[in-house]
Amino acid sequence: MKRALITGIRGQDGAYLSRLLLEKGYEVYGADRRSGDSSFWRLAELGIERDVKVRYMDLLELTNVMREVEKIGPDEVYNLAAQSFVQASFEQPIITADIDAVGVLRLLEALRTLKADTRFYQASTSEMFGKVQSIPQSEKTPFYPRSPYGVAKLYGHWITVNYRESYGMFTCSGILFNHESPLRGLEFVTRKITRGLAQIKLGLLDKIVLGNMDSKRDWGYAPEYVEAMWMMLQQKSPDDYVIATGETHTVREFVEFSMKHAGFDLAWEGEGAGEKGIDRKTGRTLVEISAEFFRPAEVDILVGNPEKAAETFGWRPKTRFEELARIMVEADIKRIERSRS
């Protein structure tokens, strides 16, 4: 039985990856930085709360990381832990760097010292492309990060490459574009929209307040993306791969498709900060814009080219944009209905 250690076990990807590895017969260890809070709602939603062996491990504490790596002796490590919210990284750039950059190094140092034959996956990100230097972005596109998060993740990416080249370790960097699901954190725009819409529909919220509606993202479905993580670590040799759908859409389009699935007939009125989303049937304002949610520097467009992953191990996205919005809206409506019944 293979043993996997997943950091960031409480997160969206940690939950889906745990389920996948359990289905494949792995013994799954989940690293969790919190003590005393025993609610693992994502693992519980997937029905695997009791199947993951949770260990107390914070990427900020080297000795803690080393002790856990030594005790577990993993065959594979998936480093998903991060301060992953781009907007927060502008307010907390130092802690973001400590977790998302040096945290990767701590884990790699622990593995180099204690178990250098471990296969290692680093959760890199399309945010590293930032002010994009070409469209679409592939493994060959130069990086130009636009946030402290992107800069920190770029260090994590290069140190992963460096440990492969310096010490012959099996380290892979997955450059994943945005991936969403009903388990997405509420701070991210897709889930903020779908949860907000469900609340509006059921009379629990007046309107959703958003920031930049013109930025474009390549949005995929998270359960498919964790499969790519696993596939990378099963190859003969380690490498880096872009994982994306190859389609890009604005935040505005995500609002429009989600509204449609929630049964609203949306019309836009006004411009810039004064723009509003109005329900045609009732005349009610459902969407407003606030400067609070704009970023000091924005990533205007992301669209990835996942050809290398397709050619090397046959990974291809299945769920498309409109379907993703539908899955998320329906899940949020069901959740609220369940909690009220």
Pick one of ligand GDD, ligand NAP, none as the site partner of residue 295 (Cβ within 5 to 8 A by kind).
Answer: ligand GDD
Active site residue 125: yes
The yes or no reply on residue 298 touching ligand GDD (CB under 6 A) is yes
The candidate with the shortest Cα–Cα distance to 52, out of 118, 122, 5, is: 5
Cβ closest to ligand NAP, residue 186 vs residue 297: 186
Cβ closest to ligand NAP, residue 118 vs residue 245: 245
The DSSP H or E segment spanning 220 is: strand 220-221
Pick one of ligand GDD, ligand NAP, none as the site partner of residue 33 (Cβ within 5 to 8 A by kind).
Answer: ligand NAP
Pick from 79, 89, 122, 125 the residue near ligand GDD by CB under 6 A: 125
Total residues contacting ligand NAP by CB under 6 A comes to 26
**Residues 100-129 within binding reach of ligand NAP (CB under 6 A):** 103, 123, 125
Active site residue 149: yes
Q: Of these residues, 125, 171, 248, 319, which one is catalytic? A: 125
What are 197's two structure tokens? Answer: 């819409």
The yes or no reply on residue 324 touching ligand GDD (CB under 6 A) is no
209 contacts 289 by C-beta, under 8 angstroms: yes
The yes or no reply on residue 7 touching ligand NAP (CB under 6 A) is yes
Q: Of these residues, 26, 29, 121, 149, which one is catalytic? A: 149
Distance of CA 307 to CAs 21, 157, 236, 242, 321, Å?
Answer: 25, 20, 18, 8, 19
User: Which residues are CB-contacts of 334 (< 8 A; sequence separation ≥ 6)?
Assistant: none
**Residues 126-155 within binding reach of ligand GDD (CB under 6 A):** 126-127
The candidate with the shortest Cα–Cα distance to 130, out of 306, 295, 247, 11, is: 295
187 contacts 211 by C-beta, under 8 angstroms: no
**Residues 177-196 within binding reach of ligand NAP (CB under 6 A):** 178-179, 185
**Residues 52-81 within binding reach of ligand NAP (CB under 6 A):** 58-60, 80-81
**Residues 208-247 within binding reach of ligand GDD (CB under 6 A):** 210-212, 215, 217
The candidate with the shortest Cα–Cα distance to 120, out of 109, 132, 134, is: 109
Cα radius of gyration rounded to whole Å, the chain:
20
Burial label, 111 (beta-carbon count in 10 A; 0-12, 13-18, 19+): buried
The yes or no reply on residue 83 touching ligand GDD (CB under 6 A) is no
**Residues 274-293 within binding reach of ligand GDD (CB under 6 A):** 293
274 contacts 263 by C-beta, under 8 angstroms: no
Active site residue 96: no
DSSP reduced 3-state for 70: helix
Quote the CA–CA distance of 27 and 105 in Å, as a whole number: 25
User: Which residues are CB-contacts of 23 (< 8 A; sequence separation ≥ 6)?
Assistant: none
Active site residues: 125, 127, 149
For binding to ligand GDD (CB under 6 A), which residues are involved?
A: 84, 86-87, 125-127, 177-178, 187-189, 192, 210-212, 215, 217, 251, 293, 295, 298, 302
For binding to ligand NAP (CB under 6 A), which residues are involved?
A: 7-8, 10-14, 31, 33-34, 58-60, 80-84, 99, 103, 123, 125, 176, 178-179, 185
